[in-house]
Structure 1
Amino acid sequence: MAQEQLPDVVERFMRFVQIDSQSDPQNEAQTPSTPSQHKMAAYLGDELRSLGVRDVQVTEHAYVLGTVPASAGAEGLPALGLCSHIDTSFDAPASGVRPHVVHYEGGNLVAGVEDGREVSTSPEQVPDLNQFVGQDIVCSDGSTLLSADDKAGVAEICSLLARLQGDPTLPHPTLKIAFVPDEEIGHGASLLDLDEFGAAWCYTVDGEALGEFNYETFTASEATVTIKGVMVHPGSAKDVMVNAITVASEFEQMVPAAERPEHTEGREGFYHPIDIRGTAGSVRLTYIVRDFDSKLFAAREETLRKIAAFLNDRYGEGTVQVSIREEYRNMAERFQGLDFLVDNALEAHREVGIEPKVVAVRGGTDGSQLTFRGLPCPNIATGGYNAHSVREFIPVPSMEKTVDLLQHLVAKFARPQA
């Protein structure tokens, strides 16, 4: 597919992914966590202005905000928000993304060759590939992730706005746009001023396979396990030394092995060690803890505390400390009485020929946090696969269909809601 033949949404997407904007979990106290997100935010501010969006703001924290006035007849209705995040994951290389389009003809989808090895995805790994035979698919070159999570969502929102700009007769309420930083490190839209934003309801565009729709997510926390050893010369260590590395190993061995991400699926929660650093004198372990059920989630946090208590009995009080920071909660807890947000989305899917599938997200979105802050915010899929991986890809027709879906969705809010 030649560059000049690219659909509008794909052309935007391929521009966006070439701007570095990876977030940094080691700098989460600062928003944004990386300078590159400022560059991405500035670029998107200009993009929104070119699309006729009003009151565009690019804040000091790399939030990009704007307003699209309602179509004729919908001016007095509540505003609807659309939100995607501008940062990309730290789980794989994300700098210098080189996207390209592959015409998929079956078999392995080859993104590129790295160190002499083919970087590919097989239909066994992603069965949906069988649906995409004969389609154009956007991949990276195999050395980085593609950044479809979530620059596909950003591009799809921008292409919707371009469509609305080109045809003022398309119905929609006032639209409030928010592109936000640091979603991948749990910051999400925490600094978004909801009163100033002015939306009554919102949808994130940050899902995966086309047709998936989410209004339920994990409840999530981050647990930091700090282990303090007792160091003496190893030649005289008997009955004195407490090696923090050894204790850390014991702690990890006591976390239920069958409840790690690689052994769980569906509605099963997990414990996931994501970082370890230190010496024989001091070690810090970091876990993310996830579950859909609030009681099971609380039990998981308590399990970590009980392991610490057991090891403190063995090695001395204060050897192991566990601190837990809540990241987000299952937003399904806050959707009572808001059935129209779900119904409108499901109807919009069907109107564009997509049979929707309601999926509980084994993760979180900006909508998790926004919902608990008072802005109900389900999630629309972008069409992408293999997020957080150098094998990430997104079919071109899926991106185009998502823009169609968004057009039908916003039209439903151009009339009063129940």
Structure 2
Amino acid sequence: MAKYDQLVDRFLKYVKINTRSDEHATTIPSSPNQVQFLQVLAAELREIGLSEVKYNEKNGYVTAKLPSNLTNQQVPTIGFLAHVDTADFNAENIKPQIHENYDGHSKISLDKAGQFVLDPAEFPNLKRYKGHTLITTDGSTLLGADDKAGVAEIVTAMAYLIAHPNIKHGDLKIGFGPDEEIGTGADHFDVADFGADFAYTVDGGPLGELEFETFNAAAAHIEIQGKNSHTSNAKGIMVNAIQLAINFQNALPQKEVPEQTSGKEGFYHLYQFSGTVDHATMDYIIRDFQRDGLEARKAVMTQVAADLNHSHQNRIKLTLKDQYYNMIDIMKDHMDVVALAEKAMHALGIEPDETPVRGGTDGSKISFMGLPTPNLFAGGENMHGRYEYISTQTMAQATDLILKINELNVDQQH
């Protein structure tokens, strides 16, 4: 880690700042603490020597440039992107715990009472980290490696290049944005202003992840208006909105849910429900790797709503909204960007893991905006909850990868 002496310190400083996004907000960014953190980042980027540092109030992105130090040579401009917000889990008063030289098989107690434990029997990926220094939570919050790790790795890579001017590089652009976790952060990203020829999000999980195929995604919001009455004379009068919600859920394919699917299987996921007899709401995410599969799933939900409305006097209002599309539709025409990352990984002795991601990244939307943007590993495990952890050695390897991609980008232009 001596090569990147500030990498872990940056990460620890970043994760202690609550930047949880708010899906119910209408502002950009969705939470004021993200704005504050982005301003802190902008100041740090200026301090380490990057140029053209700015905070865009319209889209909430901080962008900066490391100008080329090449003479008489033109190379493509690479962008590196990460998001600053954390997921819908407690992010207040984060207290990272450092566990040096993990033995690869012991349980790690997160809290003093031993209520929350990282157990290799439950989390087998822990076995990969024998000899590593692990950073965990204290069991009461998430950690924020998704994606403060990516932020720290990108900043550290830029600082390293500035401190070592003998390393040749073309123009490099970096961008840190808000609200990835609520699916809106990249909606207003300004590709033309960013000015890269291609980019990478540093927002993946374990070592080797290289993602250029994602779900197609949509969201469904359902409002159900019931009719309450006293139970003594409810027959023929009461319409229980909770029961209609149950009927809606039961009418969907029961095995096509996240907990029963894997690989390239899509799903319907009811992630939020509230209700009384008088009124109920349901929120779903809908996922499918095929675009026509997503449309078919939306059609199923539309038909279920129509059937229930037919039998219950139009008491169900369904709102569907597309969120992002499978980036392979764009990346298939830009596989040279993927090949560059593959070559860089192989040069570092890292085996690329190109398993299609059962999720999405900001790169999904940004690729459709005209900037091919696959996703690189950042190192986090068990993200979005109290069992999140990360290896400092993997963070260093992610930083190595950023530098190696730059090196090969320069070399392949000769």
TM-score range, shorter chain: over 0.9
Matching residue within 191, 203, 207 for 2:204: 207
C-alpha contact 1:148 1:387 (8 A) present in aligned 2? yes
Matching residue within 329, 343, 346 for 1:347: 343
Q: Which residue of 1 aligns with 2:152?
A: 155
Count how many residue pairs are aligned between Structure 1 and Structure 2.
412
C-alpha separation in 1, matches of 2:73 and 2:45: 21
**1:273 and 2:267 correspond:** no
Identity %: 37
Q: Which residue of 1 aligns with 2:318?
A: 322
- SS of alignment partner, residue 269 of structure 2: strand
- SS of alignment partner, residue 267 of structure 1: coil
Name the amino acid aligned to 2:64.
Answer: G
C-alpha separation in 1, matches of 2:72 and 2:252: 54
**1:63 and 2:98 correspond:** no
Matching residue within 388, 396, 402 for 1:400: 396
- SS of alignment partner, residue 364 of structure 1: coil
CA deviation string 1:37-82 (max 9, x = no partner): 0111011111111221101112325321111101213763332111
Deviation at 1:339, TM superposition (A): 1.7
| 1:379-394 paired onto structure 2 within 5 Å | 379-394=375-390
C-alpha separation in 2, matches of 1:394 and 1:298: 37
TM-score by length of 1: 0.94
Q: Which residue of 1 aligns with 2:409?
A: 413
Q: Which residue of 1 aligns with 2:231?
A: 234
- SS of alignment partner, residue 116 of structure 2: strand
C-alpha contact 2:52 2:65 (8 A) present in aligned 1? yes
User: Judging changes above 3 Å, is the alpha-carbon distance between structure 1 residues 55 and 320 closer, same or farther for their aligned structure 2 residues?
Assistant: same
C-alpha separation in 1, matches of 2:324 and 2:340: 25
C-alpha separation in 1, matches of 2:221 and 2:413: 44
Q: Which residue of 1 aligns with 2:282?
A: 285
Deviation at 1:231, TM superposition (A): 2.8
Matching residue within 139, 142, 145 for 2:142: 145
Q: Which runs of 5+ in 1 are unaligned?
A: none
User: Judging changes above 3 Å, is the alpha-carbon distance between structure 1 residues 78 and 5 closer, same or farther for their aligned structure 2 residues?
Assistant: closer
Q: Which runs of 5+ in 2 are unaligned?
A: none
C-alpha separation in 2, matches of 1:336 and 1:364: 17
C-alpha contact 1:270 1:290 (8 A) present in aligned 2? yes
Matching residue within 375, 378, 382 for 2:374: 378
Deviation at 1:169, TM superposition (A): 2.2
Name the amino acid aligned to 1:156.
Answer: E
Runs of 4+ in 1 over 6 A off after TM superposition: none
- SS of alignment partner, residue 300 of structure 1: helix
C-alpha contact 2:82 2:202 (8 A) present in aligned 1? yes
| 1:67-82 paired onto structure 2 within 5 Å | 67-73=65-71, 76-82=74-80
- SS of alignment partner, residue 323 of structure 1: strand
Matching residue within 111, 118, 122 for 1:121: 118
Deviation at 1:30, TM superposition (A): 1.6
Deviation at 1:322, TM superposition (A): 1.4
> What RMSD, in angstroms, separates the aligned Cα atoms of the two structures?
2.0
User: Judging changes above 3 Å, is the alpha-carbon distance between structure 1 residues 400 and 262 closer, same or farther for their aligned structure 2 residues?
Assistant: same
Name the amino acid aligned to 1:414.
Answer: V
| 1:45-56 paired onto structure 2 within 5 Å | 45-56=42-53
C-alpha separation in 1, matches of 2:40 and 2:107: 31
C-alpha separation in 2, matches of 1:127 and 1:240: 54
CA deviation string 1:159-202 (max 9, x = no partner): 10011001112232211111000000001222221111111111
- SS of alignment partner, residue 184 of structure 1: coil
CA deviation string 1:212-249 (max 9, x = no partner): 10000111111011111123333322112211111011
C-alpha separation in 2, matches of 1:118 and 1:7: 34
